[in-house]
Amino acid sequence: MPLDPSRVVTRLEELRSLTGNEDGAQRVAWTETWANARAWLAESLEDLPLDVERDEAGNDWYTLRGDSERAVLLGGHMDSVPNGGWLDGCLNVLAGAEVLRRIAEEGTPPVTVRLVDWADEEGARFGRSLFGSSAAAGSMSDQDELRKLADRDGVTLPDAVGAFGVDLARVLDAHAQLASAAAYLELHIEQGPVLESLDLPLGVVLGTFGVERWRVTWTGQAAHAGSTPMDRRHDALAGASKLALAIRDVARETGDGAVCTSGGVVCRPGIVTSVVETAEQLLDQRHLDAGKLASMLARAQELSRVFAEEEQIDVDWEKIWSIEPILFDQTLVGFADEAIREVTGTSHRLPSGPLHDAAELSRAGVPTVMLFVQSLRGLSHTKLEDTKPEHLELSVAALDRLATKTIDWIAAG
C-alpha cells in the first residue's frame, strides 16, 4: 500500500479520544495512560515484520531489518505534558509509523529502518526532560540528582520508572541502540509562530538554540520613599529596569533570531514605602551561533556594569544553566529542504527555541535533522495546540520523502 498521510490524522484523532479529556492530552510519562498509548501504538504495528524491543531507558524500538545493519532512525515521543496538546510528540511517532509501514510493505529496504518512541521527553512529572534520549545519547550524567527527585505525591523517580521495568543504574546501557545509527529524522510541530506568519506549512530546523541563563543581583540601599531625595538614592530596581530594556536592543542588534528575556525581577524589601535594596533579575539569552551568543552575554554584562555605575549600586552575575547551540547535519538539512519543496513548493530554514530529542541524538554524533510543521497561533503545551489537517498530511508526505532520500544516501555511503 502506498503512503496514506490521511491515516495519520485519523490515528491522531483516535489517540486523542483514547488518552485525552476535556482538558487536553494526559499521556504523562510513567503513568497508565502513557502505557496505554504505547500499547495502542505497538498493537497497530503488529502486522509488520518488525523486531520490537524496549531498551534499558524505557525507549520503545520498532526495527525493520534491511540489507545493511546501518540504520535510519525515525523518532518521537508518545508522552505529553498534563493538559497537553494532541500533536506534540505523537505526530512524530505516528508519522514515523506510517512511513515505516510504507517502506515495510515495499519489501526489504537497503538499510535498516527503526522507529523509536523516546521515554519521557517532556519531563512533566519529575522536571527532567529528554530522559530516554539523553540516556541513549550517553549524555545523562545526573543520575545522582535523578535518584532524589520525587513527584507531587512523593513518589520518587526511581520507583516510578522501576514500575515500568527501568533501573536507573542501567539506563546508560541504552546507548548500545545507537551503535548502528546512521541518521536520525524527526518531524515536530513548530510550537512557535514563525511558519504561520510566513504562511508556510513546513520548515527545516537548522539546530537548537544555545542558551545562557543567569541570575543578575543588583544591590543598592533601602531608604525611606518619603525622606530620601531623588539624587541620593541607590535604587537596585533602576539597574534591573535599565538592563531589562537594554537587552531588547542587544537581541535586535545581534539579529539572526537572537532572543533575550528578562523573565522576572524579585525586589526586596518590596514595599511601597522603600527604595529597592536588592533586585534579583533572571536573564535568558539564546542564539544558534555560539560566538554571537557569547558576545550577547558579554554585551549584557558590560551594560550592567555601566548601569551599576550610573545608579551607584552593585551588580553580580551568577550562572544558572547553559547549553551550547546544536547544529543539525548539513547534508540532511539539504535533503529536508528538497523534500519540503517537492511537497509544498517552498521551504524555509529556522532554528528551534525548545530542545528536542533530536538535539540529544545530534550531540551523540548521529547526523540529524528535524522538520517543523506550522502550529496555529504558535500554541503548544495546551489543549488549544492545533495544526490544519492538510498541513499534517503534507508533513507526513515530506517526512516520507526525507526518509527515502536519507535511506538512499546511507545505502550509497
Which member of 66, 84, 89, 239 binds Zn ion (CB under 5 A)? 89
Residue of minimal Cβ distance to Zn ion:
89
Choices 56-64, 89-97, 165-173, 333-341 (CB under 5 A): range interacting with Zn ion: 89-97
Residue 230 carries which DSSP code? G
Determine the interface stretch with Zn ion among 37-45, 84-92, 260-268, 363-371 (rule: CB under 5 A).
84-92
CB of 64 to Zn ion, least distance (A): 24
Q: At what angle do helices 5-19 and 389-412 cross, to 10 degrees?
A: 120
Site string for Zn ion, 116-135 (x = CB under 5 A): --------------------
Question: How far is 124 from 136, CA to CA, in rounded Å?
Answer: 19
Total number of residues that touch Zn ion (CB under 5 A): 2
Distance CA 267, CA 279 (A): 5
The yes or no reply on residue 325 touching Zn ion (CB under 5 A) is: no
* Of residues 231, 315, 214, the one with CA closest to residue 275: 231
From the CB of 359, what's the least distance to Zn ion, in Å? 11
Cα pseudo-dihedral 291, 296, 297, 303, rounded to 10 = 140
Residues facing residue 373 across a β-bridge:
189, 202
Mark the segment that binds Zn ion (CB under 5 A) among 59-67, 88-96, 137-145, 195-203: 88-96
Contact between 84 and Zn ion by CB under 5 A: the answer reads: no
- When the beta carbons of 88 and 280 are compared against Zn ion, the nearer one is 88
Interaction between residue 357 and Zn ion (CB under 5 A): no
Residue 191 to residue 377: CA distance in whole angstroms: 9
Q: Is 367 in the site for Zn ion (CB under 5 A)?
A: no
Q: Which of 7, 72, 70 is nearest to 405 (CA)?
A: 72
Nearer to Zn ion, 88 or 190 (CB): 88
Q: How far is the CB of 80 from Zn ion (least distance, A)?
A: 8
DSSP sequence for 65-131: --SEEEEEEEEE-----TTB-SSTTHHHHHHHHHHHHHHHHT---SEEEEEEE-S-SS-TTTS--SH
- Beta-bridged to residue 377, according to DSSP, are none
Among the candidate windows 29-37, 81-89, 217-225, 241-249, which touches Zn ion by CB under 5 A? 81-89
Of the candidate residues 88, 190, 289, 329, the single one contacting Zn ion (CB under 5 A): 88
**CA torsion, points 330, 334, 340, 343, in degrees to nearest 10?**
-150
Nearer to Zn ion, 89 or 203 (CB): 89
Q: Which is nearer to Zn ion, 93 or 216 (CB)?
A: 93
Q: Is 192 in the site for Zn ion (CB under 5 A)?
A: no
Nearest-approach distance from CB 32 to Zn ion, in angstroms: 21
Q: Which residues bind Zn ion (CB under 5 A)?
A: 88-89
